Structure 1
Amino acid sequence: MASNRPAPQAPFAPDASEPFAYGAPRAEDGVWEEWNPTEESLPAVRGRHRVAKQRGGGLARSSTVLGVGVIAAVGAGGMASANTGKPPVSIALPDLPSVDSLIDGHHHTETPAASLSGVATATASATAVGDSTADAGEALRSRIMAQAERQQSKADSRATAAAVAKADQQAAEAAAEAAKEASVKAAAAKEKAEADAEKKAEEARLAALAKQYTLPTSSYTITSTFGQAGSMWSSGYHTGLDFAAPTGTLIKAIHSGTITEAGWAGAYGYRTILTLDDGTELWFCHQSSISVSAGQKVSTGEVIGRVGATGNVTGPHLHLEVHPGGQPTGIDPGAWLRGKGLTP
């Protein structure tokens, strides 16, 4: 084993009687003499040092392996602490032989079994810590991924629910609008159907009445209407409906009833009054002749006289007036006839 070389000879030896820079020599220090350290006089070197190559190289290699294992174990514990946020894992190292035993004068040639066992234990512990750290990191990653998937699933579920709710609302609104439109259309269709039915009923009623009523004459021309103003009428306006026709044209009963008057009536000329069952009086005026007498029952279409030009007239025609209930003031004969299904 190598030893320290002797120190070089001092260039000079100070006189013991001369004082040093820091003070005079002390008696207890004894006489000054040169000191040359040797291997036997030096204590074992500790801390950082250089170890000479050993014969066989067993212990040196074992120490290197031990150092690498310790560094790996400590590094794994540090990474685990950084990655997982958990406190570092404590690593129990076996008692190792002191460095003195590696460099002492006895020169051991074999590595103690206890030392090799400690190295193996430390390496196994480091490996176990690394595996445990990897397992813990993988578990943490799995938990994070599972939580992210659950959150994404919840978000997707909420988005899907919102979309479904919106679609349902739109469908409900569309259905309500369609129902409203259908209701409006149905109401319009019902109203139209009712109007059509009412029109048909009125047409049927008028058709039935038309069989019961008839126009007073044929081959005529309407020359004056009800309410027409003029000086030729004593009341200032026309009170009836004029059917102009040749003299002698037949005059027929508009509806069945009773003859309540037949004769001369001044400005009306020869006049016949037919009273219907509801009390309405029909006046047939300006006749050239009368074919019935008072109190006589007549039927619809029966001849009651002939067209003439008697009374206050300008030409042959039938002057027809309608007096509901026998009242002295008449109504429009044209409207009354149309109400019976007849068109004058």
Structure 2
Amino acid sequence: MASNRPAPTAPFVPSQRDGEPYGYGDQRTDEGPWEEWNPTEDSIRPVRGRHRVSKQRGGGLARSSTVLGVGVIAAVGAGGMASANTGKPPVSISMPDLPSIGHLFDDSSDGPSSTTASLAHIGTASATDQGGSDAGEALRNRIMAQADRQQSQVDTKATVAAVAAAEKQADDAAAKAEKAAATQAADAKKDAEAAAAKKAEAERLAKLAKQYTLPTTSYTITGTFGQPGSMWSSGYHTGLDFAAPTGTLIHAIHSGKITGAGWAGAYGYRTILTLDDGTELWFCHQSSINVTVGQKVSTGQVIGRVGATGNVTGPHVHVEVHPNGQATAIDPMTWLRSKGLNP
């Protein structure tokens, strides 16, 4: 069975300290004496055989621990640089158990520099990966922030457009309502004006009705203006016939002057009443005349009686209206209604 070679004895033993140590009352253990160890090729040569791991865990472990510390410092420094570059907090580095990384430290290597380089590479790679991850996260955050801003701008534009559309719709509705109100007000005004005009006309006609009257009270309309027939020389009826029993009183329709009274051929006995505006009213087919030419009469005054003289088929009073004394007659029904009368 192989065994480890005994360690050589120290070639030098330091002398004992003489005298009183400075500043202390007695000898202190941390002031020496110490044994001086001068490593040689034999003392540091790795032991070959089954106890190699044990030696590695002994003296080699202390050396490896020193190298590990240097590697950790390098890795932490690299991580700090990556964190400074990305604006992120330092990356935490987990230290593995020493036994699990024993394979990183090989006595066959040239020295602690290779181990330090390996640890520094690991730390730098980890920091680089972490920095890349942080940079990607920062880029993602910037993209998301930009997307949020764009979405916010889109939402703002949509809101502004919706508000503008709502305001336009409200303005249109208000304008439409205002127009409808104006139209309604105009119609109401027009209706009111029409009602007022109608009322005024009714009052005027009522006032005129007091000034005008129908030629007789008990009557029946038997002939109207424009009615065609061979009985009339003109080929149509030129007046309005009020049929009534013979002797029924005939009244002056309005105040005026008698400008004609006597026989008139086919008209029989006729009385002509001229109004102040020059309109002539003819009363024909009378059985008797009660006025004379030049006489002034008032509304409702008796001027004759109903008869059947002239070209007739029965007793009635034939009334004609000649504006301004002209020969052509107009419709008596329209003229009487204009005066507030309703035959």
| TM-score tier (shorter) | 0.5 to 0.7
Q: Find the aligned partners of 2:332 and 2:61 in 1 and give their Cα distance.
A: 149
Q: Find the aligned partners of 1:72 and 1:223 in 2 and give their Cα distance.
A: 132
Q: Paired residue for 2:315? A: 316
Secondary structure in structure 1 of the residue aligned to 2:167: helix
What pairs with 1:1-344 in structure 2 (closer than 5 Å)?
52-53=55-56, 54-55=58-59, 57-74=61-78, 76=79, 80=83, 84=86, 150-344=149-343
One-letter amino acid of the counterpart of residue 190, structure 2: E
One-letter amino acid of the counterpart of residue 315, structure 1: G
Provide the aligned length of Structure 1 versus Structure 2.
265
One-letter amino acid of the counterpart of residue 323, structure 1: H
Q: Paired residue for 1:17? A: none
Q: Find the aligned partners of 2:342 and 2:75 in 1 and give their Cα distance.
A: 126
Give the gaps of 5 or more residues in structure 2. 6-40, 47-51, 89-106, 108-119
Q: Deviations over 1:206-243 (max 9, x none)?
A: 11111110000011111111111111112211111111
One-letter amino acid of the counterpart of residue 315, structure 2: P
Q: Deviations over 1:174-202 (max 9, x none)?
A: 12222222233223222222222222222
Deviation, 1:149, is 5.3
Q: Find the aligned partners of 2:73 and 2:272 in 1 and give their Cα distance.
A: 144
One-letter amino acid of the counterpart of residue 206, structure 1: L
Secondary structure in structure 2 of the residue aligned to 1:196: helix
Q: Find the aligned partners of 2:142 and 2:314 in 1 and give their Cα distance.
A: 119
Deviation, 1:142, is 7.8
One-letter amino acid of the counterpart of residue 274, structure 1: L
Give the gaps of 5 or more residues in structure 1. 4-38, 45-49, 87-102, 104-121
One-letter amino acid of the counterpart of residue 277, structure 1: D
Shift of the 261–59 alpha-carbon distance from structure 1 to 2, 3 Å rule, reads same
Q: Find the aligned partners of 1:194 and 1:84 in 2 and give their Cα distance.
A: 86
One-letter amino acid of the counterpart of residue 199, structure 1: K
Q: Find the aligned partners of 1:167 and 1:142 in 2 and give their Cα distance.
A: 36
Give the stretch that moved more between structures: 53-62 or 226-235: 53-62
Secondary structure in structure 1 of the residue aligned to 2:318: strand
Q: Find the aligned partners of 1:246 and 1:80 in 2 and give their Cα distance.
A: 132
Secondary structure in structure 1 of the residue aligned to 2:180: helix
Q: Deviations over 1:54-84 (max 9, x none)?
A: 449533322233334434544x268659x94
Secondary structure in structure 2 of the residue aligned to 1:259: strand
Deviation, 1:250, is 0.3
One-letter amino acid of the counterpart of residue 181, structure 1: A
Shift of the 333–55 alpha-carbon distance from structure 1 to 2, 3 Å rule, reads closer
Deviation, 1:328, is 1.0
Q: Find the aligned partners of 1:303 and 1:77 in 2 and give their Cα distance.
A: 135
One-letter amino acid of the counterpart of residue 170, structure 1: Q
Q: Deviations over 1:294-330 (max 9, x none)?
A: 1111000001111111111121110111111111111
Q: Find the aligned partners of 1:182 and 1:278 in 2 and give their Cα distance.
A: 47
Deviation, 1:263, is 1.2
Q: Find the aligned partners of 2:251 and 2:275 in 1 and give their Cα distance.
A: 14
Q: Find the aligned partners of 1:249 and 1:161 in 2 and give their Cα distance.
A: 89
One-letter amino acid of the counterpart of residue 200, structure 1: K
Q: Find the aligned partners of 1:317 and 1:175 in 2 and give their Cα distance.
A: 67
Secondary structure in structure 2 of the residue aligned to 1:279: coil
Secondary structure in structure 1 of the residue aligned to 2:260: strand
Q: Find the aligned partners of 2:59 and 2:220 in 1 and give their Cα distance.
A: 159
Deviation, 1:262, is 1.1
Q: Find the aligned partners of 1:203 and 1:237 in 2 and give their Cα distance.
A: 33
Q: Find the aligned partners of 2:64 and 2:223 in 1 and give their Cα distance.
A: 150
Q: Find the aligned partners of 2:258 and 2:63 in 1 and give their Cα distance.
A: 161
Deviation, 1:165, is 0.8
One-letter amino acid of the counterpart of residue 167, structure 1: A
One-letter amino acid of the counterpart of residue 247, structure 2: G
One-letter amino acid of the counterpart of residue 69, structure 2: V
Q: Deviations over 1:261-303 (max 9, x none)?
A: 1111111111110000000000111111111111111000001
Q: Find the aligned partners of 1:282 and 1:57 in 2 and give their Cα distance.
A: 153
